[in-house]
Chain A
Amino acid sequence: MRGDEVVRVEHVTKEFVLKHNHVDSLKGRFVGLFKRRMRPRHEHFLALSDVSFTVRRGEAVGLMGRNGSGKSTLLQIIAGILRPTAGQVVTHGRVAPLIELGVGFHPELTGEENVYLNASLYGLRNKDVRRRFRDIVAFSELAHFIDTPVKNYSSGMYMRLAFAIAVHLDPEILLADEILAVGDASFQQKCREKIASLRRGGMSIVLVSHSEQQVRSVCDSYVRLDKGRVVESGVFKAPAAHVR
């Protein structure tokens, strides 16, 4: 890995097995012995085929493509959730997947309890969360509600808290699936400023989006996928100054 590379995707191929008549019970297996019609059929499906690219420190790369082009699968592989069938992904630094906000939030727990729970899922120690807690609450603007169960939160409050946690994980690599800002207009502005300041600190972003406009406004370069293959990649004109 070269000095300033933080993500390197090397010849990644991902094959899914598409299950027709999927059987996930012992009973189903038993029935399948006698009835041909009920027998499961498997079809192999190539979600990604020989995808390679790298992300440098501080760089923002947009993964573009239509629905089903494999971009979200690729993000899951970079996050370590899925394993590639072939090839490898090397990441350097803490990865914060913003694939879905508020994963692991429990409705019965208070905002505060959920902050600790959620941050620890990303590998943060409780003592580190304690140090950042004040900042997280301040950012989310939920100081008044932080000790009430999140089941009473509005969806906007829920997203604000989740987003506040994610940007306070000190990620070196942020993996985002369309979401880079939540809440009302002024809160969205705050999100964008926070992300810009994290990027000045050297954070890299991999942003999945089917909106070219969104990618253009955030990213320095892009990779376009179609049916699991890289069909185009390049650098946007006038890339942000801090990148190179």
Chain B
Amino acid sequence: MDQVAIASASLMSESLTHHPTARLTPLQGLRALAAYGDMLKNFVRKDIQVRYQGAALGFLWSLINPLVMIGLYIFVFSDVFKSTLPYYPLYLMAGLLHWNLFSQITGQSCDTLLSNAGLIKKIYFPRLLVPISSVLFNVVLWLLAIVLLFLIYPFIGGQARWVLLAYPVALAAFLLFTFGVTLILSVLNVLFRDLKHLVDVALLFLFWVTPIVYQYHRIPPHLRDAFALSPLVEYVLIFRGILYAGQLPDWHIMGAALTWTAATLTLGLFVFHRYADSLVEHL
């Protein structure tokens, strides 16, 4: 069947082969995804538009929640518990903003496939676009907060250091890790609908076992190694190292974080690829 290209990028002459054993190679998959770039754009735009429809402050609402959280934690930890840490607001924000990104994406990941069931059942398009658009939507909302952090950065104790150049790399790795988690949860939640509630509890638990509002060194030494196994702990240490301390953490922390990313992403893509075609029968 030489004349039949599989999901060629030029859609005007698109051809598709459906066969139980026919699989797209990763390269063909990427090309097909690129052709759907506009759909992704329209999807994210739709989600944002719908979310802030009729709200006078519109997009700015996405800032209210993190601002209130930050204000409260600053009050509790610098005025009530009397933290001696210099520049506590920066210390807090470096961890909290990235936690917010993770928890928002993960909290929503369970619903992505179910809430788009109507589409998935009626039209064929690469299913991977659903979780990707959900992640992108949250990233766009979050961008406002991180841009604000960088704007006030010099005034809250941040310094221009070379290590800041590592930030985009760390962020990319963190997002890929989060994307991997999203893929796994989105598929699992279709098969086990109550997973969502478990995830909510797990997120609450994870927040407090991650040194976001408190210092890593306050963790009892004999527990510290166990804590450091958590990918969230590792990434918070990395982000705070870059944005607050001005130096990257130990190489084994970074190595562990990257290993988590690679493992989660691989497992996520595998699970999603494995179930993507049969998911529609469970929706």
Contact = CB atoms under 8 A, between A and B. Distances in A.
Interface of B: 1, 3-4, 11-20, 22, 35-36, 38-39, 41-43, 46, 49-50, 53, 118-125, 190-195, 198, 277-278, 280-282
Interface in A97-139: 97, 99-100, 103-104, 106, 108-109, 113, 116-117, 120-126
Contact of A109 (B12, B16, B46): B46
21 contacts: A1-B3, A25-B194, A26-B195, A80-B124, A82-B280, A83-B278, A87-B19, A93-B13, A99-B122, A100-B122, A103-B118, A103-B123, A104-B123, A106-B50, A108-B53, A109-B46, A109-B50, A120-B42, A122-B125, A123-B125, A125-B38
A90 interface: yes
Contact of A81 (B35, B38, B53, B123): B123
> In this complex, which of A97, A120, A126 has the most chain B Cβ atoms within 10 angstroms of its Cβ?
A120
A27 interface: yes
Contact of B119 (A80, A90, A93, A103): A103
B145 to A, nearest CB: 25
B51 to A, nearest CB: 10
B17 A90 contact: yes
Contacts of B195: 26
B122 A83 contact: no
A97 B20 contact: no
A123 B4 contact: no
A17 B282 CA distance: 10
B123 A90 contact: no
Interface residues of A, number: 45
Contact of A16 (B4, B121, B281): B281
B247 to A, nearest CB: 43
A109 B49 contact: yes
A209 interface: no
B17 A97 contact: no
B18 A113 contact: no
Contacts of A65: none
Interface of A: 1, 16-17, 24-27, 29, 77, 79-95, 97, 99-100, 103-104, 106, 108-109, 113, 116-117, 120-126, 170
A116 B40 CA distance: 11
Given A117-B46, A120-B38, A120-B39, A94 B1 contact: no
Contacts of A109: 46, 49-50
Contact of A108 (B3, B42, B49): B49
Closest 9 CB pairs of A and B: A80-B124, A120-B39, A88-B19, A25-B194, A103-B122, A126-B38, A89-B18, A83-B277, A117-B42
Contacts of A85: 20
A108 B38 CA distance: 20
A161 B56 CA distance: 30
Contact of A25 (B14, B35, B41, B193): B193
Contacts of B20: 83-86, 88
Contacts of A79: 123-124
B16 to A, nearest CB: 5
B46 A81 contact: no
A126 B192 CA distance: 37
A9 to B, nearest CB: 10
A91 B16 contact: yes
Nearest to A103: B122
A178 to B, nearest CB: 14
Given A80-B124, A83-B278, A103-B122, A26 B194 contact: yes
Contacts of A77: 18
Contacts of B123: 79, 81, 97, 103-104, 121-122
A24 B282 contact: yes
Contact of B41 (A82, A91, A108, A126): A126
B130 to A, nearest CB: 11
